[in-house]
């Protein structure tokens, strides 16, 4: 038997212990919230005198390295893997609606099991600190990104990081401004309306409502000085209870629908791409909105499903299920940033004309731009061959059989605040076009 020098063995053990402490991943279900006077959550991420990364983080060298300890790299301390794009509780899996930063799980046979070949390499992504290029898993501490497509805003510090969008201290079940609807919610959504003012309203969804609690995706509520605290997602499916090492149980809800506010939230960074910032959702001459001397796709506007349109979160163009509490067919769906783009990454391919396009800042790009569908399938899914959801869309949207009040100023600033339709005035398409 080989003899080992005791001094050398002690040194090896000490180094191993230091490494374990420095790189230990947080092991608490409520690491991002539910703090109190005896909390241990702070120690899940931070160390006071021996930090490996800025913000006194226990591991580095980049914030991305650190976040992947729990949210990737085989971490067992979170159900959310943002490196490979899935949510997991025990044997229950769901694909990430946002996408993974290195790979994304594409559940091609819809069996909720990760089969061979279903973890696809991304083709474009939000470039957080350390992830150079549009794909690949190499982490380079010198890869920092300060400029923002579609904006004059510039990031400081280490550039764009996970914490640019997410507030790591905003989670848990503590009531917050960014809203979500818990297990059991479904059907229509009424933003800013209440059963007191409009009897018969089934759901009231507004940030000040006490039935809306928490911020389970840790979204920031102020970005570049803009207050963006009215974002609503639906979580009406529970994957079960996640219990990590030493953790108390935490229920896990994947996103099942977008409801309200993503355009305003995304455009706090990409402000030049949202024509509503200039007060023009669409041009009165029948064109897309013009903003900062460029024509831009309308945002937060209504649309009607095109024949065969795929609106699923997994493979289609999901709309925001925004409803003002009236029966107008145009008020049930709204186009938002997340209708066409994923938040973290995409795995779709772009070829031919779709592989080269002009940018807001000048020049051209050849990426897949976080799009949800291959090439320009995102466009065809809603518009067909320029037949649907455009100014020459003359589909009969039905008749108005009873009076209804619409808040015209919501979409048409400067117009009458309310307009009372007379009953039986004929097809809506006689006056209204979808955009």
Is position 238 within any domain?
A: yes
> Cα(120)–Cα(319) distance, rounded to whole angstroms?
25
Write the secondary structure of the chain as one string of H (helix), E (strand) and C (coil): CCCCCHHHHHHHHHHHHHHHHHHCCCCCCCCCECCCCCCCCHHHHECCCCCCEHHHECCCCCHHHHHHHHHCCCCCCCCEECCCCEEEECCEEEECCCCCCCEEECCCCCCCCCCCCCEEECCEECCCCCECCCCCCCECCCCCCCECCCCCCECCCCCCCHHHHECCCCECCCCCCCEEECCCCCCCCCECCCCCCCCCCCCCECCCCCCCCCCCCCECCEECCEECCCCEEECCCCCEEECCCCCCCEEECCCCEEEECHHHHHCCCCHHHCHHHHCCCEECCCEEEEECCEEECCCCCECCCCCCCCCCCCCCCCCECCCCCCCCHHHCCECCHHHHECCCEECCCCCHHHHCEECCCCCEECCCCCECCCCCHHHHHHHCCCCCCCCCCCCCCCECCCCCEECHHHCCCCCCCCEECCCCCCEHHHCCCCC
Q: CA–CA distance from 396 to each of 40, 94, 304, 367 (Å)?
A: 60, 38, 11, 38
Residue with tokens 């400081």: 156
Is position 122 within any domain?
A: yes
> Cα(105)–Cα(99) distance, rounded to whole angstroms?
8
Instruction: Note whether 409 and 381 are same-domain residues.
Output: no
pLDDT at 304: 77
Instruction: Note whether 269 and 364 are same-domain residues.
Output: yes
Instruction: Note whether 254 and 325 are same-domain residues.
Output: yes
Instruction: Note whether 423 and 363 are same-domain residues.
Output: no
> Cα(150)–Cα(129) distance, rounded to whole angstroms?
19
Instruction: Note whether 248 and 149 are same-domain residues.
Output: yes
> Cα(382)–Cα(397) distance, rounded to whole angstroms?
16
pLDDT at 287: 64
pLDDT averages per 10-residue partition of the chain, 435 residues: 42 33 37 78 91 88 92 84 93 92 93 93 96 92 95 94 91 48 39 38 38 68 84 76 69 82 90 76 64 84 85 92 49 82 97 92 90 96 88 57 38 40 42 44
Count of domains forming the chain: 2
Is position 56 within any domain?
A: no
Is position 212 within any domain?
A: yes
Alpha carbon 176 to chain centroid, angstroms: 17
Whether 206 and 155 have beta carbons less than 8 Å apart is answered as no
Instruction: Note whether 404 and 378 are same-domain residues.
Output: no
Instruction: Note whether 349 and 420 are same-domain residues.
Output: no
pLDDT at 200: 40
pLDDT at 217: 83
Instruction: Note whether 216 and 234 are same-domain residues.
Output: yes
Determine if residue 289 is left, alpha or beta; phi over 0 gives left, psi from -120 to 50 gives alpha, anything else beta.
beta
Instruction: Note whether 266 and 224 are same-domain residues.
Output: yes
pLDDT at 243: 76
pLDDT at 121: 97
- Cis bond before residue 61 (omega within 30° of 0): yes
Is position 102 within any domain?
A: yes
> Cα(234)–Cα(290) distance, rounded to whole angstroms?
32
> Cα(300)–Cα(282) distance, rounded to whole angstroms?
10
pLDDT at 146: 97
Instruction: Note whether 300 and 412 are same-domain residues.
Output: no
pLDDT at 195: 38
pLDDT at 248: 63
Is position 143 within any domain?
A: yes
**Residue-number span of the structural domain to which 126 is assigned:** 87-393
Backbone angles phi, psi at 2, to 5 degrees: -75, 130
Is position 37 within any domain?
A: no
Instruction: Note whether 267 and 407 are same-domain residues.
Output: no
pLDDT at 280: 62
pLDDT at 252: 81
Instruction: Note whether 128 and 258 are same-domain residues.
Output: yes
Is position 282 within any domain?
A: yes
């Amino acid at each position: 038997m080989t003899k080992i020098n005791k001094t050398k063995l002690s040194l090896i053990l000490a180094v191993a212990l230091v490494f374990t402490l420095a790189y230990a991943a947080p092991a608490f279900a409520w690491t991002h919230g539910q703090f109190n006077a005896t909390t241990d959550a702070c120690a899940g991420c931070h160390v006071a005198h021996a930090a490996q990364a800025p913000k006194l983080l226990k591991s580095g060298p980049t914030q991305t390295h650190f976040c992947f300890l729990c949210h990737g790299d085989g971490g067992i301390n979170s159900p959310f893997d943002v490196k490979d794009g899935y949510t997991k509780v025990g044997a229950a899996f769901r694909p990430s609606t946002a996408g993974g930063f290195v790979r994304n799980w594409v559940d091609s046979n819809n069996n909720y099991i990760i089969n061979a070949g279903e973890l696809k390499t991304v083709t474009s992504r939000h470039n957080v600190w350390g992830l150079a290029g549009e794909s690949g898993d190499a982490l380079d501490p010198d890869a920092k990104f300060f400029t923002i497509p579609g904006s004059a805003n510039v990031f400081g510090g280490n550039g764009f990081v996970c914490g640019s969008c997410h507030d790591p201290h905003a989670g848990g079940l503590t009531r917050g401004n960014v809203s979500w609807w818990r297990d059991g919610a479904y059907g229509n959504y009424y933003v800013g309306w209440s059963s007191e003012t409009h009897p018969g309203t089934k759901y009231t969804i507004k940030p000040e409502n006490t039935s809306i609690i928490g911020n389970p995706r840790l979204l920031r509520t102020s970005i570049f000085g803009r207050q963006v605290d009215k974002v609503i997602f639906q979580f009406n499916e529970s994957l079960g209870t996640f219990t990590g090492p030493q953790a108390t149980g935490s229920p896990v809800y994947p996103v099942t629908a977008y409801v309200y506010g993503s355009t305003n939230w995304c455009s706090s960074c990409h402000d030049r791409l949202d024509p509503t910032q200039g007060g023009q959702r669409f041009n009165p001459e029948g064109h897309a909105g013009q903003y900062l001397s460029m024509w831009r796709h309308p945002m937060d506007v209504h649309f009607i499903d095109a024949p065969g349109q795929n609106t699923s979160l997994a493979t289609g163009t999901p709309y925001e299920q925004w409803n003002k509490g009236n029966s107008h067919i145009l008020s049930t769906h709204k186009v938002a940033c997340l209708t066409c783009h994923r938040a973290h990454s995409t795995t779709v391919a772009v070829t031919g004309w779709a592989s080269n396009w002009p940018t807001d800042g000048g020049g051209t790009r050849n990426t897949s731009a976080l799009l949800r569908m291959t090439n320009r399938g995102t466009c065809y899914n809603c518009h067909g061959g320029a037949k649907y959801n455009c100014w020459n869309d003359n589909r009969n949207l039905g008749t108005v059989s009873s009076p209804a009040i619409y808040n015209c100023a919501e979409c048409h600033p400067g117009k009458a605040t309310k307009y009372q339709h007379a009953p039986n005035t004929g097809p809506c398409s006689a006056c209204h076009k979808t955009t």
